[in-house]
Amino acid sequence: MNELLGIDPDIPLFHLIPFVVFSPIFFYVLYNLGLKEIFNPSPEVREQRRLHKEALAREAAERTSKLQDSGLKLKTAKRTPLQLLGQGVTFALFALVIGYFSGAPAYVSHPPEKALLMLSFTHAGQHVEKCKKRSREELAKLAPNMRAPMSCSRERWPVIAQLSLDGDNFFQGVATPAGFSKDGHSSFYEDFSVSTGKHRIKVYLWDGVANAGQGAPDFMLEQDVDLGPREILVIGFDNEAGRITLE
């Protein structure tokens, strides 16, 4: 089609077909719904507008006549030059304040000479109660559609994370499971500005206890890293492989 019209082949004329087809229909509907009464009103609409203007004029004339009969004069407030100057100064100061705070002080998410360490992952804790097998008597008491051979608690333990950098513990947090029944995943999203250079990172996760430090962690990662300025190191969790990751 472009060759027949002598137009550059890179111009996608095919994309203009819906616009060419549907634009007249759209404007026709829009014209009949409201634009017609604005640009080309009917005689009835013109008469209604004329009567409305006459009613407004009569009301204004009646108010003016009542004021004149009562001896009152309608005064309009006039601003003095000093008031106008004060108003201009106030508006100018307001504009200067808005203009200043729109660009200053500059916001820095973290110092550019440092690296960023992020803890970002979701992980489902273990079930609070272990699954148990139902007996025949227990299954018989249940409805036919509820007779699952195993009975499992929906509630899960919160996930506890602990981070250590060069032997110093600098973060420990608890993420509760999502959902009204506390049966969803626990989520972490924390970030820390750290100095550049070589560091020894240790990450501990508990997903089956109420408090951190009770027994050995369920997951642990210990690794040496070398961080540069503005570098971002993300501590995640691979749920399929069941291990902590550094990316």
Structural domains in the chain, CATH included, are 2-39 (no CATH), 115-128+156-246 (2.60.40)
- Which amino acid does the sequence have at 34? G
Looking at residue 144, what is its pLDDT?
80
What tokens appear for 237 in the block?
A: 């969790």
SS3 (DSSP) at 26: helix
**Distance between CA atoms of residues 19 and 22, nearest Å:** 5
Residue 163 C-alpha from the chain's centroid: 29
What tokens appear for 111 in the block?
A: 């110092």
Structure confidence by residue, pLDDT tens digits, 106-116: 766 778 889 99
């699954």: which residue's tokens?
A: 131
Has residue 41 got a pLDDT over 80? Answer: no
Structure confidence by residue, pLDDT tens digits, 83-129: 888 888 999 999 988 888 877 777 667 788 899 999 999 999 888 88
pLDDT tier for residue 220 given thresholds of 50, 70 and 90: very high
Q: How far is CA 106 from CA 90, 100, 103, 112, 231, in A?
A: 26, 11, 7, 13, 21
